Structure 1
C-alpha cells in the first residue's frame, strides 16, 4: 500500500527531510504591508523573508491557509492517484482553520475519488485521515517526522493511527522569541494572553525572554529567562536532560527564524547533538517557517520532544 503524508507549512522540518520522505505541503499565504508571500517551505525564500522583515521592522502580518476547495483540488487531481492512503497532520486547530478546512475537504474527496482512480486502473479504495497535531511549528514537525519514520518502516495504517494518538498527547513544544514586540503584537491580535503588557514592558526593559510551551493544544508561558542566548542555552540543556531521562519518540526537532547555521554554531546545541547521537535519537534542525516567524519574530527558536512525563522548565 502506498501511504502518503500531508501537512501544512506551519510544520517546521528541514527541506531535505520533507523531500526525502515525499511529504506534501499545504502552502500558507502571508499578507504583509508590501504584498504577499507564499510559504511552501522553500529555505532560500524563507531566509529572504526573515531578512526583509528584520530590516523593515514590520510586525503587521496576516496568514491565509489553503481553502477547502484548494485542498479538495490537490487531492483529486494528484494525491488520490499517487497514494492509496493519506495521513494529513495539521497545525493545532485552536490556532488555524487548516484542520477544519482539511476535514471539510476530506468529506468531498472520499465521495468523489472513485471515478478518478478507476480511470487510472486503480482498484484499491482510497483512505484519508485528518489529524490535529495539537501543536505548532517544531513540535508539529516532530509529529510529522515520526509518522514519516513509521511509513518508511512500512507500518500499518492502524499502527500509525494509534501512534499519532499518543504523539499528540506527549509532544511538547517550546518557543523563545529574540524580540518580544512581534510576539505580543500577534498575541494581542489573536486574543492570546500568554504575554501580557506588563510582561512585555518588563521583558523589553530588562531583556527577559518568556519561554512559551505548546502542549495538547494549549499555549502557556512557563518560564522567564534573562537574555536570549542564555535562554536558548538553557532550553537545549533542558532538552538534553529530557533525552537522558527517556523520550517517548526518538526525535528532537529544532527550528530557527533565520539561517540554521546560527544554531549549529551554538555550544549548547552541539552538546545536544552529541547526546542525540549517543542515544540514537534523530535531531532535526531547520528554518522556522514564516508562519512561525510572523508570530514570534525573526531570530526566534523552537524546540520539541515527546515525553510521557510533563516536562517542567526551571
Structure 2
C-alpha cells in the first residue's frame, strides 16, 4: 500500500528532510502590509523575510492557512492518485483552523475521488486520516518522523494510525521566547490573553523568561528563569535528563527563530547534541517556520519530544 504523509508548514523539520522523505506540505501564507510570502519551509526565504519584515511589524502579520477548497483540490488533483492512504498531521486545533479545514475537506475528497482514481487506472479505495498532533512547531515534527520511519519499515495503516494517536497524547513542546512584549502583542491580535501587559512588563524589566509547555493542545508556563541564555540552558539540560530517563521515540526536534549558527552557539546546546549522538537519538534542527516566527517572535527556541508524564524541573 502506498502511504502518504501530509503536514502544514508550521511543522518544524528541515526542508531536506521533508523533501527527501516525500512529505507533502500544506503551505501557510504570511502577509505583513504589502509583503506576502507562502511558507514552503525554504530557510533562505524565511530568514530574508524575517530580517526585512518580521522584526519590526511581525505582530501585525496575517497568516492564511490552506482553505477547505485548497486542501480538497490538492488531494483530488494529485494525492488520491499518488497514494492509497494518506495521514494528514496538523498543528494543534486549539491554535489553528488547519485541522478543521482538513476534516471538512476530507468529506468532499472521499466523496469525489473514485472517478479520478479510476481514470488513472486504480480501482482500489482511497482512505484519508486527519490527525491532530496536539502540538506545534518542533514538537509537531515528532509524529511526522515516526510516520516516515514506520512507513519505511513497512508498517500497516492501522499500526501507524494507532502509533500517531498515541504520540499525539504524549508529545511535549517546550519554548523559551526572547521578547515578551512581542509575544503579548501578537497573542492579543489573535484573542489570546495568556500573556498580560503586567507580566510582559515585569518579565522584561527583570529579564525573566518563561519556559512555555505545550501538551495535548494546551500551553502554559512550566517555569520562569532570569535571563534568556540561562533559561535556554535550563531547557537543554532538562531535555538531556529526559533522554537519560527514556523517550518514547528516538527523536528530538529543535527549532530556532533565526540563523541556526545562533542556535548552535547557545550555552548547553553542544552538550545536547553530544548526548543525542551518544544515545542514538535522531536530532532534527531547523529554522522555525515563518508562521511560527510571526506568532512568537524571532529568536525563540523550541524543543519537542515524546515522553511519559513528567514535570519541568
The TM-score normalised by the length of structure 2 is 0.97
1:53 & 1:174 partners in 2: Cα distance? 26
Q: Does 1:61 pair with 2:53?
A: no
| Corresponding residue of 2:194 | 194
Q: How many residues align?
A: 313
| Corresponding residue of 1:283 | 283
1:181 & 1:14 partners in 2: Cα distance? 29
1:195–1:221 contact (8 Å) kept in structure 2:
no
1:194 & 1:225 partners in 2: Cα distance? 18
Pairing 1:93-104 to 2, within 5 Å after superposition: 93-104=93-104
1:128 & 1:55 partners in 2: Cα distance? 39
Where does structure 1 differ by over 4 angstroms across 4 or more consecutive aligned residues?
A: none
2:291 & 2:72 partners in 1: Cα distance? 22
| Corresponding residue of 1:313 | 312
2:144 & 2:290 partners in 1: Cα distance? 18
| Corresponding residue of 1:241 | 241
| Corresponding residue of 2:133 | 133
1:262 & 1:13 partners in 2: Cα distance? 17
| Corresponding residue of 2:24 | 24
Q: Does 1:257 pair with 2:284?
A: no
1:279 & 1:19 partners in 2: Cα distance? 26
| 1:176-204 deviation per Cα after TM superposition (whole angstroms, max 9, x unaligned) | 11111221112222333332222101111
Q: Which runs of 5 or more residues in structure 2 are unaligned?
A: none
1:241 & 1:193 partners in 2: Cα distance? 32
| Corresponding residue of 1:159 | 159
Instruction: State the SS of the aligned residue for 1:223.
Output: strand
| Corresponding residue of 2:206 | 206
2:254–2:284 contact (8 Å) kept in structure 1:
yes
Pairing 1:135-150 to 2, within 5 Å after superposition: 135-150=135-150
2:256 & 2:267 partners in 1: Cα distance? 15
1:54 & 1:221 partners in 2: Cα distance? 24
1:53–1:298 contact (8 Å) kept in structure 2:
no
Q: Which runs of 5 or more residues in structure 1 are unaligned?
A: none
2:216 & 2:305 partners in 1: Cα distance? 13
1:194–1:219 contact (8 Å) kept in structure 2:
no
How many angstroms does 1:53 deviate by? 3.2
Q: Does 1:48 pair with 2:66?
A: no
2:4 & 2:58 partners in 1: Cα distance? 37
| Corresponding residue of 1:113 | 113
2:302 & 2:168 partners in 1: Cα distance? 17
How many angstroms does 1:57 deviate by? 5.0
1:270 & 1:19 partners in 2: Cα distance? 27
How many angstroms does 1:17 deviate by? 0.8
The TM-score normalised by the length of structure 1 is 0.96
1:99 & 1:54 partners in 2: Cα distance? 25
- How has the CA–CA distance of structure 1 residues 55 and 136 changed in structure 2, closer, same or farther, with 3 Å as cutoff? closer
1:52 & 1:230 partners in 2: Cα distance? 29
1:194–1:221 contact (8 Å) kept in structure 2:
no
How many angstroms does 1:12 deviate by? 0.6
